Structure 1
Amino acid sequence: MTAFREDNLTTEDAFWVMWYFLQEHYELSNNTFEVSDILSASEPMDWDGSGIKRPADNGMIDFWNEALEKYKKQGKPDWKQLKK
């Protein structure tokens, strides 16, 4: 079972990890996505009747962990890139 990495993030760090998370979805969807699709796939559900809450789509955990790793390696994105 995939698990979230145990990292303590500042509010700003979490913002940039989320930015990488959303950027990945945007690129995978050919530069268009529905935020409602991401939210519904990320909706917490009871997992296996154990009381543990997991995203409806466990792949979202992998996307988050990949975004976290990308942020650790690359840091904040280049502002010039954000001004497109």
Structure 2
Amino acid sequence: MIEFSKEQLSAEEAFWVMWYFLDRHYELAGGEFDLSDILSASQPFEFDDNGHFDGEVKGQRRVAPADSGMISFWNDAVKKYREFGPKPTQLKK
């Protein structure tokens, strides 16, 4: 099972990771996408111990995105941010 990157991100880092995440989807969709598709595919669902989504709360539950491909896209976005930046800015009061 693929897991999300465990890195802790600041608000600015999370912004740039999300930019890389959305940029990849935009590229794959040929220059257009519907944001609601990305958000719904990224929405975590509860699965039972057999990996089935049944809508019932019983037994051991696992929370994961409905589309596990989103996990690898997110992890790739974290890697791209770490490699290509931009670097976080120091804010002044």
Structure 1 runs (4+) greater than 6 angstroms displaced:
none
Gaps of at least 5 residues in structure 2 are 50-59, 88-93
3-state secondary structure, aligned to 2:13: helix
- The whole-number CA distance in structure 2 between the counterparts of 1:48 and 1:15 is 32
- The whole-number CA distance in structure 1 between the counterparts of 2:7 and 2:66 is 22
Q: Deviations over 1:43-70 (max 9, x none)?
A: 1101334322111101000000000000
Aligned partner of 1:31 in structure 2 is 31
What is the RMSD computed on CA atoms of the aligned residues? 1.4
Aligned partner of 1:63 in structure 2 is 73
Query: Bigger radius of gyration, 1 or 2?
Result: 2
Give the AA of the match of 1:10: S
Aligned sequence identity (%): 52
Aligned partner of 1:80 in structure 2 is none
3-state secondary structure, aligned to 1:46: strand
- The whole-number CA distance in structure 1 between the counterparts of 2:38 and 2:47 is 19
